[in-house]
Amino acid sequence: FQSKLPNSTASIFSVMTALAVKHQAINLSQGFPDYAVDPQLTDLISKYLQQGFNQYAPMAGMPALREQISAKFKRVHDLDIHADSEITVTAGATQALFTVMSAVIHAGDEVIVFEPAYDSYAVTIELLGGKVVPIRLTAPDYRIDWQEVASKVNARTRLIIVNNPNNPTGKVLSADDVAQLAQVIQNSNALLLSDEVYEHLVYDGIAPQTVLSHPLLRERAFVVASFGKLLHATGWKIGYCVAAPQLMAEFRKVHQYNVFSVHTPTQLAIAEYLEDAEHYLNLPTFFQQKRDYLVEALQHSRFEVAQSQGTYFLNLNYRAISDKPEQEFAVELIEKHGIATIPIAAFYHDGHNQQYLRLCFAKKQETLEQAVQVLQQI
Ligand code: PMP
Ligand code: GLN
């Protein structure tokens, strides 16, 4: 048997979390909250379970949830997204990403991926027989050279993937970036896959944004989102994909056969919970307070803190402490100091090392304080 993914190993998130558990370290590596979800939400799931909503949901998702997603687009972006023809509920963002790529990538197609990149993109492209065309962005600005992007687009370019706000950099695309992206798409046959799982986690007064606000991208983009981030419940694996009707029809041809539908009572619970928009409009305040605490506290350390405009990640440069490469330093931090982080190098296909580590700040104040105490002593 010949492996279809001969080079694929355990993800950096699994590796670092396993090491954190082994060494009983404070786990700021894999991105997940360490506090409880809102009991109102778990009560709603119980309610729908007990009411007997335990059979298949419609393939595209429960209508009540698709209506709420549509209402959220109206409220936040003043966009009219049709619940029946333009939204599909998925088993997390990962399945939505996989399904978009499966629906559009033919063997031999090229896909442009900006690095540092979330780990699932390249593996999925490879599995589908596509070719990853990486564009390397570098710390601390991770600026995109749009001329370079344009120069990498050709007749075989099927898809461009963006992740905004970006995991792991915490960067948000500027209005100029979006305009330039639209220009590149317009001059090509490519579609856009915009991973917007951190859409609502934006700080310093930055408004949530979606590429669907751009008229051209509204026609050519798939947008992917995750309730794992929105509801502090990464284990529920419910997300959604939004695209214009013709694109969504192609998406559903695949979705129908790789999952068909996702957990019914949780969809109903989320739909009811989203009726109160405060539940997601509060997210920037909630997370910015955590980010600001860490940024301030780490001014009193030897780490250099990079700016985080969005996501629940903060990057630290450790050049003043060690000249070890990221992976090695990250393991040392776990083994010697009991703090687990993620090396940014893991988001580059060639392991590009810049002496940065990613910390997840979706943690209770107590956890952040414990981490700060350790990090200030290093
Ligand atoms: N995209 C990005 C950029 C992510 O960070 C994550 C998860 N943290 C996902 C997709 C996957 O989301 P989900 O857990 O809903 O599958
Ligand atoms: N997206 C999460 C992160 O960036 C990890 C998800 C996973 O473990 N696959 O930390």
Segment 42-97, tens digit of pLDDT: 999 999 999 999 999 999 999 999 999 999 999 999 999 999 999 999 999 999 99
Secondary structure percentages of the chain, helix, strand, coil, to 5:
45, 15, 40
pTM: predicted TM-score of the whole model, two decimal places: 0.97
Whether pLDDT at 152 is above 90: yes
From residue 4, alpha-carbon distances to 7, 124, 129 in Å are: 9, 11, 10
Q: Is the CB of 227 under 6 A from ligand 1?
A: no
Query: Phi and psi dihedrals of 195, rounded to 5?
Result: -90, 105
DSSP labels for 239-278? EEEEE-HHHHHHHHHHHHHHTS---HHHHHHHHHHHTSTH
Q: Is the CB of 11 under 6 A from ligand 2?
A: yes
DSSP labels for 132-168? EEEEE--TTT----HHHHHHH--TTEEEEEEESSPTT
Segment 172-193, tens digit of pLDDT: 999 999 999 999 999 999 999 9
CATH number attached to the domain at 12-30+282-375: 3.90.1150.10
Q: Is the CB of 167 under 6 A from ligand 2?
A: yes
Segment 217-252, tens digit of pLDDT: 999 999 999 999 999 999 999 999 999 999 999 999
Query: Does residue 113 contact residue 133 with C-beta atoms inside 8 Å?
Result: yes
From residue 376, alpha-carbon distances to 15, 78, 326 in Å are: 25, 44, 19
Which residue of 99, 167, 258, 358 sits with most ligand 1 atoms within 8 Å of its CB, as the best mutation to test the pocket? 167
Whether pLDDT at 7 is above 90: no
Position 241 scores a pLDDT of 98
Domain coordinates in residue numbering, the chain: 12-30+282-375, 39-276
CATH number attached to the domain at 39-276: 3.40.640.10
Q: Please name the residues in contact with 207: beta carbons below 8 A apart, sequence gap of 6 or more.
A: none
Measure the N-to-C terminal CA separation of the chain; round to a whole number of Å.
48
